[in-house]
Copies of this chain bind each other. A is one copy, B any other.
Amino acid sequence: MSANIRIVLVNTTHPGNIGGVARAMKNMNFSELHLVAPKKFPHTNADARASGATDLLESAVVHETLEQAIADCQLVVGTSARGRHIPWPVVDPRELASIVEPISADKKIAVVFGREDRGLTNEELHLCHHHVHIPSNPDFSSLNLAAAVQVITYELRMAELYVDENRDIRPQWGTEWDIDLAESADLERLFAHMEEALTDIEFLDPENPRQLMPRLRRLYLRAMPDKVEVNVLRGILTATQKQTKK
């Protein structure tokens, strides 16, 4: 998807922000950076903030006008604050991703970001099919340029990952959970053993068990222990019982 999506920065003042954008893009696996009349570029501050994404700066395409930068694009989306004078289709970044994702395999798409201090002009916004607005705090709404690119590219990447049927690339446990979950029978043996050991140490009174075992069952079942964890717990119970028999 990302090969067909370009990020376009219009009239950026601070080259450090261009570097920050390059880093944000590469973090989300985007590479097509287009710059419209940047104030200072290339620049050492851009390289510094890119911190390893300098390849995107080197391959960045510089244009004189926004029209040139988007000339071959089939969907153009401009970032916008709320409440422009003339109503225009506005989406949030998630809605943008749901529009872009299905067509990004074979359509060329541009997401356009304006100046640090005043965004895109109305004329520039009127070149766009849609506007995208990040739903920020109305009392403090202006994101740093690289932060705004981070949010948009993150949503586009999430849409791609969530659509991918092989969602296993995003493992639930940080890495493969290498051990099988315990089976119900394992757990029942654990709870029987636990009840016995708790009686041995006189924590559980069989004459007056109260809600102790239901509470413990609820706790351990909630955690869905794996087989090794059950073995560890049973090992602890056995070691505990050994003490009582001394």
Known: A222-B223, A239-B203. A89 touches B140 (CB 8 A): no
- Contact A173–B27 (Cβ < 8 Å): no
Contacts of A143 in B (CB 8 A): 23-24, 27, 150
Contacts of A239 in B (CB 8 A): 198, 201-203
Range for the number of chain A residues in contact with chain B: 35 or more
- Contact A225–B219 (Cβ < 8 Å): yes
Stretch at the interface among A34-42, A62-70, A228-236: A228-236
Partner of A178, one of B87, B154, B177, B240: B87
- Does A208 have its Cβ within 8 Å of any Cβ on chain B? no
Closest residue of chain B to A233 (Cβ to Cβ) is: B219
Partner of A177, one of B87, B174, B243: B87
The complex places the Cα of A158 from the Cα of B88 at a distance, in Å, of 22
Closest residue of chain B to A142 (Cβ to Cβ) is: B27
Contacts of A135 in B (CB 8 A): 157-158, 161, 170
Contacts of A20 in B (CB 8 A): 144, 147
- What are 19 A-B interface contacts by the 8 Å CB criterion? A23-B147, A24-B144, A27-B141, A27-B142, A28-B137, A29-B137, A80-B174, A82-B171, A83-B175, A87-B177, A90-B174, A92-B158, A93-B154, A135-B161, A136-B157, A147-B150, A198-B236, A220-B223, A240-B240
